Structure 1
Amino acid sequence: MKRKLIGLAAATFLTFSPLVVSPPASAVVPNAAEEPSSAAIDAYLAESMESTALPGMSVVVTHNGKIVHAAGYGQDSAGRPITAETPMRVASVSKSFTAMAVMTLVEDGRISLDEPVARQLPEFRMADPRARAITVRHLLNQTSGISDATVDLGAAESATTLAGYVAALGTGTLAADPGTRWAYCNANYEVAARLVEVAGGMRFGEYMKQRVFGPLGMTGSAVGDQAVTPSRGFNSLFGAWVPRTEPRDFLYGGGAGGVITDAADMGRWLISQTGQGRQIVRPQSLQTMHTSSGVRDYGMGWGTETVNGTELLVHSGNLFTYTAVEAIAPDTGYGFAVMTNSAGLYDDTYDVLTGLVAMTQGRAPETPGGGRQWTELILGLITLAAAGLGALGVLRSRRWADRRAGRAGGRIGLRMVPVLLPVPLLALYPALITFLMNGRTVTWAQLTYYAAPLTIAFAVAAVAGAVTTVFRLLRIRSIVSSR
């Protein structure tokens, strides 16, 4: 995020220096269970790498103001070992960082949470008059009424600047009145990032560097690929990890998913988020970001979940080739981040996180893994079965036609329906997945990356059905013509 420029020397010192604030009395918490050792965590993570068969993973665990364990496991696409300093894309985990950038400007009096965005960012316009009532708080709480289904995300994400992104939202409408309904949409945080640019007086990535990353000592972190370039990530294809280039390069320096960081830096971030270590906003602002809107258990870049009886503030992130999750436990002072250089149909990072939480409770963690392997095994068998049935349908098409050539066309057509069913399903595939994702727009491009096994299964079934149908119709036509 960007940091604003202040002319006066005294103001510059106050703005750029982290606030030295004593943590609240509840920040340092006595251990409910003995703190797991770095060696114990390392053993669990090494076992997790083996059971999940992930190509690479970096993890950090913090507690009461210190890093308990930070390390990397596996390799990147170039065969280099993953370490605690290996750059990782954290996708939507970026939203908590964007919220922090906004709050620094709120404390400086440059942004107001409850004033309409359009007054603070005059370029923000939408085709729906209700958009004039959207506040910054609505954006960060994801209650603005903006949704994937009501804006042209394709046009917005093709922009090369945040100003261009915001301009592309001009034809969009709202799915609900601001403040009345929660809908997760990246556009909320891209508008917030643009507001940071305008209020902060510099590009978003520079503001992040100066006002968030820099004060926290996060020297290995940046927004976008210009300053930090991670290696290619991986997609799982029926159990095999295939290195692929991440298509989302966030040319506009996005606030919804553009942060690149590492385990060591995430440790510094998590310590700050638990109210300890170096602070860049006041405790009240931190509490505001962590408190849900009341419309949904979602604050500002943080959601609330209960894991093994422990209430956590959590946010996950998924890109085409990278996956991440962060969490803090306000009651115990723990922080966790799990990042992988891979993306598949099954997200193992959350299972690894669950095991780490169990360890902090003095419980033995369950070994993660198996979800992705079993899912892709089943899809592989379905794909093979579909291909086999398609080949069998072609080979037996003459026999099938001989039996039905004399029947009425309508009855033959009905016989074709089950075989052709995968074809319309494939055509509607993105729309079906979008529906299952509660309206989050899913594109063909996404479905050919982390969902590749499912996409291939759908495609093979559709091709098998279509080819079988064509051969059957040709055989019937041949028989009828010869009579």
Structure 2
Amino acid sequence: MKHKLTSLAAAVGLVSALAATHAAWAAPPATGLTSAAVDAYLDKTMESTGLPGMSVVVTHRGEIVHAGGYGRESDGEPVTARTPMRVASVSKSFTAMAVMTLVDDGRISLDEPVARQLPEFRMADRRAAGITVRQLLNQTSGLSDTTVDIGATQAATSLAGYVSALGTGTLAADPGTRWEYCNVNYDVAARLVEVAGGRSFGDYMEQRVFGPLGMTGSAVGDRVVRPSEGFNSVYGAWVARPELPGFRDGGAGGVVTNAADMGRWLINQTGGGERLVTPESLRTMHTPSTVRDYGMGWGEESVGGTRLLVHSGNLFTYTAVEAIAPDTGYGFAVMTNGAALHDDTYDVLTGLVAMSRGGTPDVPGGGRQTFELVLGLIALAAAGLGALGVLRSRRWASGRAGSPGRRIGLRLASVLLPVALFAGYPWLISFLMNGRTVTWEQLTYFAAPMTITFAVVAAAGAATAAMRLARLRSVVSTR
């Protein structure tokens, strides 16, 4: 769950780094965490994880300790500290910042209902009239993937259209009573920024957030800053794919940025660099609600004994995580141009946190490969068993020709169960993800190995059942 450098030395380091794949700024902090040590760790990480490309930045108070790029883009170009990366839900912390600038300006009130400040926000649930801006940002509004038309929102071409698509939706809980992660919260917040800020959300972010921090390689959506295609892991092999179409101009997941820019952002979030909001507003963003350990675009957790504010982000071909350690002043961001069933970015973050404490990091790797190897073996076994079932179908039919139909049905049910489960695959995954909306198309991206394996198991069951029934009919008709 994701700055303007003020010193001359940092600025000189930034300029020199732009031409290099592995970039580093500033003197090492007192803990001894050096750019060279981080670079060596990340080189090992790239080798052990097999990631296609990764960009990383580590900051300490007002300085960038290390920022670099590793691996390659889909067009074969090396990843650098300036390579654009989609950061998905890490965007939420940026959206919260945009809202808080308007709170400081007196144009948005955190504890007034959204509907009073954004009259176009209407839902088919009277309780929605009481949702406050704070509840949107804390994810305690009662909005849920299970009670709004997510398909309609993703088909929107503007934030105004997005909010309009919520008109038939309802709430899953009374506002302020339950935490539920829902992207709608932050896209509504982005529309509020547009209305209160008097310009498009992307323009507001550029002028009030990215611009003041010197984040010249960052934008909302991909019209201004366009990343290359990302990758999906398919049984261990990285396959380049265009990002899945959808609404990406909002506040829930639309930010495109890079390691150098994220360094400036992390410095700002730890109290350094150019000030965007008052210290009180920054503390408000970082303070969890009374319902859950989640503030405004930041979740709170402990990693290796270090208290972190963290936010991760997952699209269908990109993955990212950001974290700050308020007690030590460190900031971290890890971004990859690949998405798989196993997320390596958090493992890399954990290693960097250990290094910041003076410890020896575990080199991540093997989780993705092992998991996908197991799935591949299951698919091969299922294909083999399906072929065996087809070949032995005559023998099976001969042994059951005189059996009652109910018993035959029960015998076939075991091989048809995977078919039934596969038919409801998206709904099953949605259930396991606490109601988050999942579509068939989405399941062909980072979940591709699991989807293929499930399909092979279902196909093996269907082929076996079909051949058994055909053989049984043939046997019965000849008697």
Output the TM-score relative to the length of structure 2.
0.93
Counterparts of 1:33 and 1:446 in 2: how far apart (Å)? 45
Partner letter of residue 39 of structure 1?
A: A
Counterparts of 2:190 and 2:442 in 1: how far apart (Å)? 24
The offset of 1:250, in angstroms, is 3.1
Counterparts of 2:30 and 2:469 in 1: how far apart (Å)? 70
1:233 matched residue in structure 2: 230
Counterparts of 2:32 and 2:163 in 1: how far apart (Å)? 46
Query: 1:262-277 maps to which residues of 2 (within 5 A)?
Result: 262-277=258-273
Partner letter of residue 271 of structure 2?
A: G
Quick check: 403-412 or 449-458, which moved more?
403-412
Matched, 1:306 2:302: yes
Matched, 1:355 2:337: no
Residues 425-483 of structure 1 deviation map (CA, whole Å, 9 limit, x = unaligned): 11121122112112222221221100001111111111110111000000010111112
Counterparts of 1:139 and 1:44 in 2: how far apart (Å)? 38
Partner letter of residue 199 of structure 1?
A: A
Quick check: 241-250 or 349-358, which moved more?
241-250
Counterparts of 2:81 and 2:275 in 1: how far apart (Å)? 22
Contact 1:225–1:249 (CA under 8 A) maintained in structure 2: no
Contact 2:155–2:246 (CA under 8 A) maintained in structure 1: no
The offset of 1:117, in angstroms, is 0.4
1:5 matched residue in structure 2: none
Q: Secondary structure at the match of 1:149?
A: coil
The offset of 1:327, in angstroms, is 0.1
Aligned with residue 210 of structure 2, among 205, 210, 213:
213
Partner letter of residue 115 of structure 2?
A: A
Aligned with residue 81 of structure 2, among 66, 81, 84:
84
2:13 matched residue in structure 1: none
Residues 55-102 of structure 1 deviation map (CA, whole Å, 9 limit, x = unaligned): 000000000200000000000000000000000000000000000000
Q: Which runs of 5+ in 2 are unaligned?
A: 7-27
Percent identity for Structure 1 against Structure 2: 75
Matched, 1:176 2:170: no
The offset of 1:33, in angstroms, is 6.6
Query: 1:361-380 maps to which residues of 2 (within 5 A)?
Result: 361-380=357-376
Check 1:265–1:53 CA distance in 2 against 1; reply closer, same or farther (3 A cut): same
Aligned with residue 93 of structure 1, among 86, 90, 93:
90
Contact 2:61–2:271 (CA under 8 A) maintained in structure 1: no
Aligned with residue 412 of structure 1, among 401, 408, 415:
408
Output the TM-score relative to the length of structure 1.
0.93
Contact 1:32–1:361 (CA under 8 A) maintained in structure 2: no
The offset of 1:248, in angstroms, is 3.6
2:450 matched residue in structure 1: 454
Counterparts of 1:346 and 1:392 in 2: how far apart (Å)? 32
Runs of 4+, deviation exceeding 6 Å: none
Matched, 1:37 2:40: no
Partner letter of residue 196 of structure 2?
A: A
2:384 matched residue in structure 1: 388
Counterparts of 1:248 and 1:414 in 2: how far apart (Å)? 43
The offset of 1:35, in angstroms, is 3.1
Give the number of equivalent residue pairs.
455
Query: 1:60-459 maps to which residues of 2 (within 5 A)?
Result: 60-248=57-245, 250=247, 253-459=249-455
Q: Which runs of 5+ in 1 are unaligned?
A: 1-16, 21-30
Residues 322-374 of structure 1 deviation map (CA, whole Å, 9 limit, x = unaligned): 00000000000000000000000000000000000000000000010111111
Q: Aligned-pair RMSD on alpha carbons?
A: 1.4
Q: Secondary structure at the match of 1:394?
A: helix
